[in-house]
Amino acid sequence: MTQRIENVVKGLVMVVLAFMVAQTVSDCNVCQSNQVACINSTSFYLCFGDGTPHRDQLYHCLEGFDCTNLTAICVQKSSQRPPSCGDTSQCGQCSANRNYLFACQSRGIFQMCYGATRPTGQFGYCPTGTVCDASSTAICVPEVAGQTLTCDINDELVDTTTAASVTTETTGGTTESSTESTTESSTDSTVTTETPTTVTPLTPAQMCAQRNATGLFPVIPADPYCQRYISCYFQKNVLIKSAEYNCPTDSWFVAQTQSCVYVNPGYCL
């Protein structure tokens, strides 16, 4: 009799845990039943019942808490209850790969590091049915149910338009992009560099019109301290609100996750 009761209790516990996991896994940047949209494992926007994340104010869970679709929104971290938007702590981190070879920028987008502390150059895209895995030297590995992702955010949240300030042509005829803005000279005729044109600062409205999308974006020219960013809010392709904001003290804006993070990504002063 005692054994039967124990089995029933264990069964109920497994059902509850399975229910909790099912209730907390969701898509990033999408309004959930608790009227928030988690953009990473610890940050979120409010939705106010209209099904659209309001990006004029970004909220952060306290340290040790995850953003979920539960009523409390921020719930203490638990191995049995993943955050709604997955783990983004290793997004864009060359150190996530033991050889500093590449960095995952999302589920299916990556950049090469080649031993550096931050990724540069063209963005790479994993083939359909594969995901970026920093624990593998293959970069992209087959996607399987329940696997732990290095950078668990949707590909569409990655800004892939800001990594081509300088183009370098190699002897093999391939072209690589780099975010370096310095002018270099070389005696090797197989290597050419282009000096980027002067960038004129844009107003928030001009920046939003250029992006033509709702979200958070870096200011132009880029802020080397990663403190300033632009917020754009569109409805039916009409710009409703545009504004410039600063990240909270001791945090840095990261374009890939459209959020202020409390760990310096490595390229901010």
pLDDT tens readout for residues 18-38: 434 344 455 677 898 899 988
177, 170 Cβ separation under 8 angstroms = no
pLDDT single digits (tens) 190-220: 333 334 444 456 788 988 988 888 999 888 7
Residue-level pLDDT at 161: 72
Length of the chain: 269
pLDDT at 142 over 90: yes
Residue-level pLDDT at 130: 92
pLDDT at 184 over 60: no
pLDDT at 16 over 50: no
Return the DSSP state at 126: P
Compute the distance between CA of residue 29 and CA of residue 91 in angstroms, rounded to an integer: 16
58, 42 Cβ separation under 8 angstroms = no
**HEC letters along 170-210:** CCCCCEEEECCCCCCCCCCCCCCCCCCCCCCCCCHHHHHHH
